Amino acid sequence: MNKKQKKMLIRILISAALLIGFNFLPFGGPLRFILYLIPYLVIGYDILIKAFKGIKNRQPFDESLLMAVATIGAIAIAIYSEVADHENGDYVEAIAVMLFYQIGEWFQSYAVGKSRRNISDLMDIRPDYANIEIGGKLEQIDPDEVEIGSVIIVQPGEKVPIDGIVIEGESTLNTSALTGESLPRDAQEGDEIISGCINMTGVLKIRTTKEFGESTVSKILDLVENASSRKSKSEDFITKFARVYTPAVVYSAIALAVLPPIVRMFVMGIPAEWGIWIYRALTFLVISCPCALVISIPLSFFAGIGGASNAGVLVKGSNYLETLSQTKCVVFDKTGTLTQGVFEVNEVHHNEMDRDDLLEYAALAESASSHPISKSLQRAYGKQIDRSRVTDIQEISGNGVMAKVDGIDVAAGNSKLMDRLGVKWIDCHRAGTIIHMAVDGRYAGHIVISDIEKPHAKEAIQLLKKAGVEKTVMLTGDSGKAAEHVAADLGIDEVHAELLPADKVSQVEALMKRNTGKGKLAFVGDGINDAPVLSRADIGIAMGAMGSDAAIEAADIVLMDDDPIKISKAIRISRKCLRIVYENIWFAIGIKLICLVLGAVGIANMWLAIFADVGVMIIAVLNAIRALFVKNL
């Protein structure tokens, strides 16, 4: 509870105590009015000031004006009743309206604050300091002051403040604040390490590779903190609705206070009963206050985003949460998303050339590439790569690599590359990626490389279908046979293979056209090579993005670990959040409409109006906070 909330709570308690005490006063008249004015001003002076400022700034139509007019009107009716009937006026209702309104506001402020604190606790990854060794002693400095290339020391129990590479030591890292998973990860010399993890066991020396402002922890915190700036359609609707709704109910209340008495007096020829109709109009104003909608809808999305971040799912805005809830088609990139991206050479089929010579030519030709397939060829070769033996390297997108090795022309790639060179190649019936080799213009054989499916990939597809996703599609640049083998094993509905990056964009656009009106399309990729597709889909999801700047920048939703099961969890979180939003909308509007009708015909009094305003708001806020809890989804 902050100072402002404590101050308001004291005001509430003082006003309530005075209201209860003055209710037993044995006398009336001006002194009674003056005494009751004390608790009214104690609890409502800020509302009156806000209403006055709104009128002064020509923006009068908000809940402060509604409360000010309703309560001042109720006091005026009490004074009139006291003067006309010579009885004690009932000031309790007017003060109670303001009191309960402020109780509702305090509760809402406390609930939002608690929600923010929960999110801050869940995302408690911002480091307070970085350790630098100076003269044999550790000194704590601000992470912002650490330059790229500096050596920092992280002791057991401390947070890793900045991204870098371990140059000394080994330890176990707790990444739960980033991934939502409690399973620790090992780190040793040479490993890349990202900020936000907690060092659990050994001392680590880390050479920083980024400034603090560009490190993973800063980007994640910026994402979560700025998510509220991207509003959903539901939030935009409520904002626009409130702008029209508030002046409409003010004018309706004026009409309710004025028109019936005039009709009674001049048309029907009976007493106007101004007091009764003004009281009904004031009750109408209290009931109509749109607090429940204006407060609970943004709070629902805020809580949903916070709950998702606790589960290792970063959502860049409530608009993306709303779009994700409508997802009916999920399109996957294969490598690094459904498979581990860890390629291994399984077989080498060679013609007249020796097996080891064929692997040597392949590894040297691919030595300039950082692609996982190239790395697997270099690992299979198993010797130090002498780059001086390789010249004239030419990489052809979607085909392969051509180079000169020891002055001999070598080509390593798919069947398209062989056709391009006019080399007759031999087909292979094994599932996997086939690297055809041409040496000195003649076909030398092929190498079979296979990727490994992720342990939970099959379960992830099943969970997506249980979550209501109607179609799953896989896009890959891999060979047709390898792609079809993976798709069949995982239970994917549709597969498109041998695609270039531009082809993936075209396929997504075609799928979106086919699915028009049938729900939204989500594309799931590793966020590095798939940036164009992530941007083009209705919703782009980057997974396994710990430390990947490209993923955080390109995607709308970022999954902080490599587990594809998180995709279905993200969809379930979004649907729970939207379900809560619609529950609050229908509940708030429904109760208010019923009470407005009852107030207009004179059945509802000011106490029912208080429930329709404050009671509905509290119920809606409590319901909204449920979006924060996603552990069992």
Which residues are marked as active site? 333
Q: Which two tokens stand for residue 411?
A: 């080509």
Give the position of tokens 């809560």. Answer: 580
* CB contact at 8 A, 433 and 449: yes
How many other C-beta atoms are found inside a 10 Å radius of the C-beta of residue 616? 25
The side-by-side arrangement of strands in the sheet containing 313-315 is 313-315, 557-559, 539-542, 520-525, 327-333, 471-475, 494-496
> Who's near 16: CB < 8 A, 6+ residues apart?
39, 99
> Who's near 6: CB < 8 A, 6+ residues apart?
none
Give the position of tokens 């003060």. Answer: 95
CA distance 131 to 333: 40
Q: Which two tokens stand for residue 193?
A: 């390490």
Q: How many residues does the chain have?
A: 633
> Who's near 385: CB < 8 A, 6+ residues apart?
363, 364, 367, 378
Q: Which two tokens stand for residue 603?
A: 């059945």
**From residue 296, how far is each of 90, 477, 577, 581 by CA, in Å?**
33, 46, 12, 8
Distance, CA of 240 to chain centre: 23
**From residue 612, how far is each of 230, 285, 287, 470, 621 by CA, in Å?**
30, 11, 5, 41, 14
CA distance 107 to 607: 19
Nearest to 546 by CA among 570, 575, 522, 526: 526
**Rg of the Cα trace of the chain?**
34
DSSP state of 215: S
How many other C-beta atoms are found inside a 10 Å radius of the C-beta of residue 597? 13
> Who's near 431: CB < 8 A, 6+ residues apart?
450, 481, 482, 484, 485
* CB contact at 8 A, 215 and 197: no
CA distance 310 to 570: 11
* DSSP 3-state of 439: strand
* DSSP 3-state of 191: coil
Q: Which residues pair with 439 in a beta bridge?
A: 410, 442
* CB contact at 8 A, 508 and 330: no
* CB contact at 8 A, 198 and 172: no
**Residue 249, Cβ density class (10 Å: 0-12 exposed, 13-18 middle, ≥19 buried):** buried
